[in-house]
Amino acid sequence: MGKVAVAAAVVCTAAVCAAAVLVARRQMRISGKWAKAEAILRELEEKCGTPAAKLRQVADAMTVEMHAGLASEGGSKLKMLISYVDNLPTGNEKGLFYALDLGGTNFRVMRVQLGGKDNKIKQEFEEVSIPPHLMVGSSHELFDFIAEALAKFIATEGEDFHLPPGRQRELGFTFSFPVRQLSLASGTLIKWTKGFLIEDAVGQDVVGELTKAMERVGLDMRVTALVNDTVGTLAGGKYSNPDVIAAVILGTGTNAAYVERAHAIPKWQGLLPKSGEMVINMEWGNFRSSHLPLTEYDQSLDAESLNPGEQIFEKLISGMYLGEIVRRVLYRMAEEASFFGDIIPPKLKIPFILRTPDMSAMHHDTSSDLKVVGSKLKDILEVSNSSLKMRKMVVLICDIIASRGAQLSAAGILGILKKLGRDSLKEGEKQRSVVALDGGLFEHYTKFRNCLETTLQELLGEVADTVVVEHSNDGSGIGAALLAASHSQYLEVEES
């Protein structure tokens, strides 16, 4: 071999060696980064851990806070609001009743014809969008718009719906904003949320505002009950199943309401109701305890939120926040472990870009190559070249965050059962406890729902056979109409 050929061979060998070293270094770098990503995942799993013992501590803490909130105003992070609902529907109610459900950028008007136990409920409803300018205008304008829509809806009353002669129409009003309830049919607005900001309505009685607007459009209708959506869900559930003792909403936000014995409410100042019972609106999203498994992602989310230090339980379990927690975990992996390559995807920096429905779609992906995960990463975060290994890790993150939320929700329900003494079997007693659940998170996120139900069964042990979780679809809308019926001004006339 000539000198030139030998030199060329040496140069080639050196080049191959250099390339091999670069590949090896790159693989070491990749494996080192992957090891870092796996370490972040392990830490997340550990910090989000909810073993049965911890969940029991959360349930016990919930029960303690319930007692404190019932003892005095401001005695607990749980407001334990008295709803003034002391007669839940029995199924015997008859007649025509209306409901108005205002809780966001749309409102719904509904009419129901009740025919007692043996007849099905006839119902019709209409959804109306609120123009954006009315969400920040005046109280007068907003309530006039609602009253006009209600009047138009009443004008379409068909032959299937009968109002006895000489009677005034009655309405149940579901108002899903913070209200200081003064009686069953009155309450002052504490503050607006969900994009509304109508300053002259704050501190006003929302039933009074609606009644004046109905009078202005010539509508003769009486608001019989002002209810929160969770109380409405409880009423709707109780109408179809007399064993319903509590209702939980797991949707964008979360809350719970339950039936309490009136004598177990020390802060109740009035006469004890004839029924001996009172529905309590817990506002459980504001629950907090040192036993809650908080991570750095939850702490940063809370610190950057519009209400730092508030609604901690809600920020761990509700649909508004689950996808955002996943985004924060992915961002840390991208930053510290180059999870998506050398550059952090710009879209990943945008808070709330990853919504819980997208998280759910990725979590439920059963395709062999996790195609749904790949397309979500591409469409939402503009990550076009995700590997299967990467997609699998994304699914694991979704699983950890959803499971923690579902298990904590189950612990909250156990706390309510404990408060009512329904977490243990009593000799000779055959009690059945039904919890009505509603909300998009519970309805559509199957793995979340299954995890909640399984966890509750495991925590209850032998009592699990006596506790049922039941989906109460659209309980809150129909519940308001049912509460208008069970508190009707004509009840005594009918009974006499």
Annotated active-site positions, please? 194, 229
> Which residue from 224, 222, 227 is spatially nearest to 211, judged by alpha carbons?
222
Q: Name the residue with tokens 């919930």.
A: 62
The Cα–Cα gap between 478 and 158 comes to 19
Query: What single DSSP character describes residue 8?
Result: H
Using a 10 angstrom Cβ sphere, with 0-12 exposed, 13-18 middle and 19 or more buried, the burial of residue 9 is exposed
Kind plus residue range of the DSSP H or E element containing 237 = helix 229-240
Dihedral sign for Cα atoms in the order 362, 363, 366, 370: positive
Q: How many residues does the chain have?
A: 496
The Cα–Cα gap between 409 and 318 comes to 9
Token code pair at residue 5: 């050929």
Task: Give yes or no for a contact between 5 and 13, defined as CB atoms under 8 angstroms apart.
Answer: no
> Which residue from 181, 185, 163, 182 is spatially nearest to 173, judged by alpha carbons?
185
Token code pair at residue 173: 């009003």
> Which residue from 196, 217, 201, 143 is spatially nearest to 173, judged by alpha carbons?
143
The Cα–Cα gap between 476 and 480 comes to 6
The Cα–Cα gap between 291 and 341 comes to 37
Would you state the torsion angle of the CA atoms of residues 347, 352, 356, 359, taken in this order, to the nearest 10 degrees? 20
The Cα–Cα gap between 292 and 50 comes to 9
